[in-house]
Structure 1
Amino acid sequence: MALEEGRAVTRTASATEKLLLHHEEKHFTAGDVVRDVIMGVSDGLTVPFALAAGLSGASAPSYLILTAGLAEVAAGAISMGLGGYLAAKSEADHYVRELKREEEEIVRVPDTEAAEIGEILSRYGLQPHDYSPVVSSLRKNPQAWLEFMMKFELGLEKPEPRRALQSALTIAMAYVVGGMVPLLPYFFIPTAQKAMLASIGVTLTALIFFGYIKGHFTGNRPLLSAIQTAFIGALASAAAYALAKALQAA
């Protein structure tokens, strides 16, 4: 009987091991890249679209709208990319400053920092007898201790070394891709009003598609995200068009 129970336990353990070996957790880990793409494409679709609509409302010729639009896309890509670079660089600098400060505190007031480990773990329902071995182990490993405090006390993740440059390039390229969509009709249609109508159709389609994809990746309802994104783009272009018409009338 005991032998059969032992074999059953062995089979269960073996089956568990196989499940663990074949189990792969699929987590989305490209959140920063998606955020940069969303930022670049959404602004790229909206700002040149509004500019082209505004110039069309002012009865500007198609070639002039295209020239102004391309200049705006170039300037916007540089500006957005630089903004992304500075934001990522600031985050990295902040992490380094906090890392040095935390490292000094571990050396200067180790008992206080060790007590903070207990406070952090107690928030997860652990009792002193549960987390005391963890505290002792971390005190023996200063690097792990430092990483623990950075993540769980300060809520800071170590940034990628090339994050600032990657963010700048991603945002800038996404802005160019988005910005070219509303300008495409002006390449082929010489009449500004006709080109504007085609631009509206193309851009709204792109906004709906982009909003749907954005909702999928950000965890929101894709259809609602598509409607919201298209509405914001349409509102911006309508406001620019109305303002240009009002200035022209004045």
Structure 2
Amino acid sequence: MNSDIVGERISPVSAISESIKRIWKQERWHKTRTGGWIGDAIYGINDGLGAIFGIIAGVAGYTSNSQTVLISGFFGALASTLSMGAGAWLATKSETELQQREIAHERREILEDPEHEFEELVLLYQLKGFSEEESHKLARHVAKDTDLFVKTMAQEELGITEESAGNPWMSALVGSISTFVGGIVPLVPFFFLHGPVAMILAATVSILAHFAVGAAKSLVTARSWWSSGLEMTAAGIIVGVVAYGLGVVGTLVVQV
């Protein structure tokens, strides 16, 4: 292939390549900042908060013994923490293994039938808006390096990038810690208070925490913080009311 530089003039292919690299770098930074562990942490806190608030509300509806409510909520938080950690580890590991399998399959296709894969890449570039000539030039440049060819096809055809591969241990750590933090929040009042006062304060703290977590979700979604916060608050109130009601029904059933 001819050099991209003729004298001091930069060819269109080189300019396009530089533009792609610059845009990709910006998008990769954006994805790293707004996704990944931040989303995992918010999800974990949300899961722990909702689950444990539901548990203590249900137990409080069943018994007025604050110690029972605290112990039930605490062990519920521990169980949720372990479950979330294990689930996050397995999910991330499975996703990574699936991506590795798809990349290996793409590599085999390139080695066995490079012409076909070359034509696919040309078509993919044309679908992005490049002209036929530009698409062929870009594809020829990529196809000169097998590793780059595989990486490009994985990204363009399958949507798999280096940044999309997660770390199972990091996911497990973030998921576990965030779930435990979310689960402890509704229990805090029971460490210092007892009876209805503790439950009322726990409900208040939990509802406010639901709003805060919902607002934080706007960091990884396109929704406004207040809309997301109100949605989470409504969900928390519904969970608490239903769980408490079921606890009261359980008390009546036992008495009968």
Q: Aligned pair 1:144/2:140, yes or no?
A: no
What does residue 227 of structure 2 align with?
224
User: Residue 147 of structure 1: CA displacement?
Assistant: 0.5
Q: Aligned pair 1:39/2:43, yes or no?
A: yes
* Pairing of 1:41-120 with structure 2 (within 5 A): 41-120=45-124
* Pairing of 1:93-242 with structure 2 (within 5 A): 93-158=97-162, 163-191=167-195, 193-242=196-245
Describe the superposition over 1:28-85 as per-residue Cα deviations: whole angstroms up to 9, x where unpaired.
Answer: 5230111111110001111111110111101241111111111111110010111111
Cα 1:123–1:140 change in 2 (3 A) is same
What does residue 22 of structure 2 align with?
none
User: Residue 141 of structure 1: CA displacement?
Assistant: 0.9
Q: Secondary structure of the residue that 1:125 maps to in structure 2?
A: coil
- Which amino acid in 2 is paired with 1:220? R
Instruction: Quote the Cα distance in structure 2 between the aligned partners of 1:185 and 1:106.
Output: 61
Instruction: Quote the Cα distance in structure 1 between the aligned partners of 2:78 and 2:215.
Output: 26
Q: Structure 2 unaligned runs (5+)?
A: 1-24
CA contact 2:39–2:220 (8 Å) conserved in 1? no
Q: Secondary structure of the residue that 1:29 maps to in structure 2?
A: helix
- Which amino acid in 2 is paired with 1:155? G
CA contact 2:99–2:165 (8 Å) conserved in 1? no
User: Residue 183 of structure 1: CA displacement?
Assistant: 0.4
User: Residue 120 of structure 1: CA displacement?
Assistant: 0.4
Instruction: Quote the Cα distance in structure 1 between the aligned partners of 2:250 and 2:32.
Output: 48
Larger radius of gyration: 1
User: Residue 159 of structure 1: CA displacement?
Assistant: 5.2
Cα 1:150–1:37 change in 2 (3 A) is same
CA contact 2:121–2:153 (8 Å) conserved in 1? yes
- Which amino acid in 2 is paired with 1:99? I
Count of equivalent residues: 226
Instruction: Quote the Cα distance in structure 2 between the aligned partners of 1:92 and 1:49.
Output: 33
State the TM-score, normalized to the length of structure 2. 0.84
Q: Structure 1 unaligned runs (5+)?
A: 1-23
* Aligned Cα root-mean-square deviation (Å): 1.7
Q: Secondary structure of the residue that 1:218 maps to in structure 2?
A: coil
What does residue 9 of structure 1 align with?
none
State the TM-score, normalized to the length of structure 1. 0.86
Describe the superposition over 1:98-134 as per-residue Cα deviations: whole angstroms up to 9, x where unpaired.
Answer: 1111111111011110010011011112222111111
User: Residue 158 of structure 1: CA displacement?
Assistant: 2.6
Q: Aligned pair 1:244/2:247, yes or no?
A: yes
CA contact 1:186–1:195 (8 Å) conserved in 2? yes
User: Residue 160 of structure 1: CA displacement?
Assistant: 7.2
CA contact 1:95–1:158 (8 Å) conserved in 2? no
Describe the superposition over 1:201-241 as per-residue Cα deviations: whole angstroms up to 9, x where unpaired.
Answer: 11111111221122244231100011001111111111111
Bigger shift: residues 125-134 or 102-111: 125-134
Bigger shift: residues 148-157 or 209-218: 209-218
CA contact 1:92–1:159 (8 Å) conserved in 2? no
